[in-house]
Amino acid sequence: MDEKEKNSKKNSRDRSEELDETIEMGEARVRNARESIHCLSIIGQIEGHYFLPDGQKATKYEHIIPTLVSVEEDDAIDGLLVVLNTMGGDVEAGLALAEMIASMTKPTVSLVLGGSHSIGIPLAVCARRSLIVPSATMTIHPVRINGLVVGAPQTYRYFEEMQKRIIRFICAHSGASEERIRELMMRPDMLATDVGSIVEGEEAVRIGLIDQVGGLCDALECLRGQIRERKQKKEKR
């Protein structure tokens, strides 16, 4: 077997492994002559400390954490595109992932498709640039918990402190004010079974929650712009 045939078989295996990863994990690495972009999808519910019932689409945070570490440390990857269509889920797991993405040194862009609800909002705003398609929605509501809750003052204080952490994160990584977020969070006349608000794409941009309305092409262009800027800064050093 000559060297050319060996390389061809190796490339074929690499493509097959990448396809398996795309199918299994909802991730893909896009390469061209200029840059390499890792695409990470966060869909369904964010599964954290407890298993979700069978039949529900879920993003497992224990799978996402090593992926983010790999993207940050791999010199072959130039940037991260996070694509979101999530109902929310485990608050601590979602906030932990948002903190990890926000702390990355690599260029990052988030794109909201369909919706990014509840704890999906910190994940939508954690990237350096955030985009949302016009038809997407975002549901803002107070912290909730399923199951048995002890009706004690300490429990309510715990919820309040958790809610403060979420609001602080959203305000620190977007242009929305704390007053506006709390107002939308406690709105009583929009949701049938809860207080809160549903914000559509253009409104999310108007209130400063998301940076701009746009689709996949716009998100990729933003990410490529960040990558070019980062490379130029490295060359000047």
User: Is residue 63 a contact partner of residue 25, using CB atoms and an 8 Å limit?
Assistant: yes
Distances, alpha carbon 60 to alpha carbons 28, 96, 182, 190, in Å: 17, 12, 29, 30
118 catalytic residue (yes or no):
yes
Among 141, 173, 174, 197, the active-site one is: 141
**End-to-end CA separation in angstroms for the chain:** 45
CA gap 139, 187 in Å, rounded? 11
CA gap 58, 21 in Å, rounded? 16
Among 41, 118, 130, 174, the active-site one is: 118
141 catalytic residue (yes or no):
yes
Would you list the DSSP string of 55-91? T--EEEHHHHHHHHHHHHH-TT--EEEEEEEEEEE-H
CA gap 107, 127 in Å, rounded? 8
CA gap 106, 108 in Å, rounded? 6
Active-site residues: which are they?
118, 141
